[in-house]
Chain A
Amino acid sequence: MNLIKLEFLKLKNKTRTWLGPILVFWLIMIAYPLTVEFLKDKLEIGFYSVLWIAILISMMLATEDIFLEDFNDGALEQIMLQTSSYSLLVSLKVFTYWIFIGFPVSVLSFLMSFGTSENLTASLMVFPLSIISSYIFLNLFVMGNALSLNKGSVLGAIVSMPLALPVLIVLGKSMTAIQLGINYPGFIFLLLGCLSIIIVTVPIVVSFIVKAHLE
């Protein structure tokens, strides 16, 4: 709990780190209607595809300097000396970032979905999908960024992006399921299954990668 509080303290004072990705998400979603004709049915056609890609991009930006600052100022070394479980620290860090960035983006997803479709039921179904997918993307990009810790975040994004593609496919299929009214819980459970694997394995892998970088 103490570690979460300290991560909150840091992130609270790094406005650019959490506000930037949220604003990028918002801008993409605001820009989308400008690229299509203002007809309700046309807006809806591509809306959800743009929504998932916007979440993906905002999560990619969110993790840009998740370890870099601690790596550069020597904080990672201090943490390594004090903390027995480095993977727990990684999990808490990802959770804090999700609270600051992933959750607001998910709420915005719901609001924009409702604003576009005027369908409350469908938008309420989109909300859990956004929550789960943003957490999955965040974990994947954290791993990519850890791998390219001192080589720039673009390389990290390139490494992680292929892992995010199956999730995007499932999200697309989920939207079809919502529109046709079939097996929506199945997709939620599938994503939750992916998340439960990722949430356990990513912090362990990342802790090894970061230790290797320190060495």
Chain B
Amino acid sequence: MNTDPSVIAKKISYKINDNKLFHDLSFCLNKGKALHICGDNGSGKSTLIRIILGITKQTKGELEISSTKGISYLGHKNAIKNYLSVEDNILLMQLHNHKDLNRYIEILNLKKYLDVLVANLSFGQQKKLALLRIFLNNSDIIILDEPFVGLDNETQKTLSNFLNEQLENNKILIFTSHISCEINSEALNIS
């Protein structure tokens, strides 16, 4: 049985109230490949990501996703609770027993904020906390919507390096970004 991840889109279209967002998009991603979805604001990048995630249904076309270890996703919303501490959020993400947790907490400079309420952290620090979900989930498909927004240069570099490492480990990466990054990827322009 083939256990390699793959994402295959065949002539995917999406429209809202007769307004076509994109039309007949096709791409094929196999292990170790990355897709950078580019486009202007409102061109449908996030919608395409939601279609790939299975949250939104395309109006036309087929999408085939093969994955054994699931999908890690980080979108515009961080899915963290601002009334809980950083530590409790890690518990909520069910990452508290992960063997690499402490290493990434050090790398992301979150150690001194473990007891701090998320509401008291800056946007960038909250994003770093949300990124733990990406760093520590061993999924074979990673999907990110504007992952570099709000991050300092050092964290952007850490994230780029991590994503390149994941590609070397035969994972699939799909992302949107207006910030230039050093990730070896194919571009898909949907403007």
Contacts and interface: CB of A to CB of B under 8 A. Distances in A.
**Do A and B come together as binding partners?**
yes
B73 A9 contact: no
Interface in B69-126: 70-71, 73, 75-84, 88, 91-92, 94
Interface in A69-85: 69, 72-75, 77-78, 80-82
A74 B126 CA distance: 14
A9 B87 CA distance: 12
Contacts of B71: 81
Contacts of A78: 73, 79, 133
B84 A74 contact: no
A101 B71 CA distance: 35
B55 A77 contact: yes
B36 interface: no
A6 interface: yes
A60 to B, nearest CB: 23
B101 to A, nearest CB: 17
A2 interface: yes
A214 B92 contact: no
Give the one of A14, A78, A82, A214 with max B CB within 10 A.
A78
B68 interface: no
B88 A74 contact: no
A74 B57 contact: no
B77 A9 contact: no
B73 to A, nearest CB: 6
B79 to A, nearest CB: 4
A55 B189 CA distance: 55
Contacts of B57: 215
Given A9-B88, A9-B92, A14-B83, A215 B77 contact: no
Given A9-B84, A10-B81, A13-B83, A74 B75 contact: yes
A72 B80 CA distance: 10
A80 B54 CA distance: 9
Chain A contact-residue range equals 10 to 19
B78 A10 contact: no
Contact of B75 (A13, A72, A77): A77
Interface string A73-108: 111011011100000000000000000000000000
A77 B83 CA distance: 19
Contacts of A74: 75-79
Interface in B8-65: 53-57
Contacts of B75: 74, 77
Contacts of A80: 54-55
B70 to A, nearest CB: 7
A80 B71 CA distance: 11
Nearest to A80: B55
Contact of A72 (B53, B77, B94): B77
Given A9-B84, A9-B88, A73-B81, 10 more contacts: A2-B94, A9-B91, A13-B84, A13-B88, A74-B75, A74-B77, A74-B79, A75-B79, A77-B77, A81-B71
